[in-house]
Structure 1
Amino acid sequence: MAKHNGNRLRIIGGQWRSRQLPFPDVEGLRPTTDRVRETLFNWLQPYLPGANVLDVFAGSGALGLEALSREAGQVTLIEKNQKATKQLQDNIRTLNAQNSSIHMGDALQILPTLAKAFDVIFLDPPFGKGLLPNCINTIEQHNLISPNGWIYIESEQALTELDIPKHWRLHREKKAGQVMLRLFQIMKDTA
């Protein structure tokens, strides 16, 4: 049995509420805090049941596993770090989450290979790496978000300039410490 370093992630709602899962020490991995997840999932709750969800920088799985716990129909997780991916696989097995899949590798290389649009996308990349602009462009170019879908972006507060497509309407925004939370809804093109 693998030894764990004591890092624990608590699922805060849904079928696995209060369930604690381990996550590894990995540079740049910072699970979304309970308080931030509570806010985000309060915003998203009406849209989650049955939703097809993509967690682009899965890390500990805080967002993707929370979505599964709250009745998402399918969750796809992308994680580059091998240690984090292995722990995600173990946690998914522990939860017996049949409606999930994990892609290990660079998000910007994996995103174009995904052949379906998602109802909800979580973009919570490692801070200070400049990954958001390319992710936003790739999601747009490959039509990875459903009409009327939702995109959650978590970034460092210092990141003030994001080139957001015009049809992404800011639905909610909040600051939490040094973190900025933004939830966008994709508006159907009526032209």
Structure 2
Amino acid sequence: MKVVGGKYRGRPIKSMPKREDTKLLRPTTERVKESVFSILNNYLEGTKFLDLFAGTGSIGIEALSRGAEKVVFVESDRRFCNLIKENLKKLGIPREKYEVICDDYTRALKKLSKRGEVFDFIYADPPYERGYYTRVVNMVKNLGLLDRDGLLILEEPKKNPFIPEDEEWLVEKRSYGTTTVSFLNFNPEDE
């Protein structure tokens, strides 16, 4: 894996050895990453970005590479938390530009809400087979974690896509191979 664009473009990002991550990690493909960040690229400068279910941290690192001011990485597996920290350190990303929270996503989201954190972009790539999407969307919305103009970006399986409670939240949906990416905003312009 490598950083696709921005300041750290072409730099490698370490992943877990194949034998250890086959059931734990489904990395975002470079095609999906490049497509999503080509959409976000002009809007990332100076933003706050949450990488939820961060895995290796490649999405959040891409956001930092392309100008995000701060990224919070949330990952429950301590091995991946250590890997994220290793990748950030290897790239020389200043410590004030990121935070790694190694905890269950529900506790992490509640903690961020209690601190009054609000994000311009939240990228959620939960395990496909566990049906996290409705809970993630409801928590982000109800805890007020997304800026009024912000986007919640869900990476999901094309064969079983998430359908939001309110269709007006869906700004855009794009498919790349077996992956669908949904862009949601909880404050439609016509309100």
1:79 maps to 75
Question: CA offset at residue 146 of structure 1?
Answer: 0.2
In the alignment, which of 7, 10, 19 is matched to residue 18 of structure 1? 10
Task: Point out where structure 1 has 5 or more consecutive residues left out of the alignment.
Answer: 1-8
Is structure 2 residue 43 aligned with structure 1 residue 42?
no
How many residues are paired up?
182
More helix by share: 2
Cα deviation for residue 158 of structure 1 reads 2.3
Aligned mates of 2:41, 2:89 — CA distance in 1: 24
Aligned-pair CA distance for 1:97: 1.7
Q: For structure 2, which runs of at least 5 residues remain unmatched after alignment? A: none
1:174 Cα deviation from its structure 2 partner: 1.6
For residues 121 and 128 of structure 2, what CA distance do their matches in structure 1 show? 21
- Counterpart for residue 145 of structure 1: 146
What is the deviation of 1:161?
4.2
Q: Which residue of 2 aligns with 1:184?
A: 184
AA in 2 matched with 1:179: T
Task: Give the Cα–Cα distance (whole angstroms) in 1 for the partners of residues 188 and 177 of structure 2.
Answer: 33
In the alignment, residue 129 of structure 1 is paired with which amino acid? R
Aligned pair 1:120/2:128, yes or no? no
Matching of residue 103 in structure 1 with residue 101 in structure 2: yes
> Which residue of 1 is the match for residue 160 of structure 2?
159
Within 1, Cα distance between the matches of 2:189 and 2:182?
21
TM-score by length of 2: 0.89
Please say if residues 52 and 74 of structure 1, whose CA atoms lie closer than 8 Å, have aligned partners that are also in contact: yes
Q: TM-score, normalised by structure 1?
A: 0.89
Residue 33 of structure 1 is aligned with which of 24, 29, 34? 29
Match for residue 5 of structure 1?
A: none
Secondary structure at the counterpart of residue 10 of structure 1: coil
What fraction of aligned residue pairs are identical, expressed as a percent?
27
Question: How much has 1:104 moved relative to structure 2?
Answer: 0.3
CA distance in 2, matches of 1:188, 1:35: 28
Aligned-pair CA distance for 1:159: 2.0
Alignment of 1:164-175 (within 5 A): 164-165=165-166, 168-170=169-171, 172-175=172-175
Q: Is the 8 A contact 2:44 2:66 kept in 1?
A: yes
Q: Alpha carbon RMSD of aligned pairs, Å? A: 1.7
User: 1:184/1:161 Cα in 2 relative to 1: closer, same or farther (>3 Å)?
Assistant: closer
- Indicate if the aligned counterparts of 2:164 and 2:170 stay in contact, CA closer than 8 A: no
Larger strand fraction of residues: 1
CA contact (8 A) 1:146 1:186 kept: no
Shift of 1:150: 1.1
1:22 is paired with a residue of what secondary structure?
A: coil
The corresponding residue for 1:133 is 134
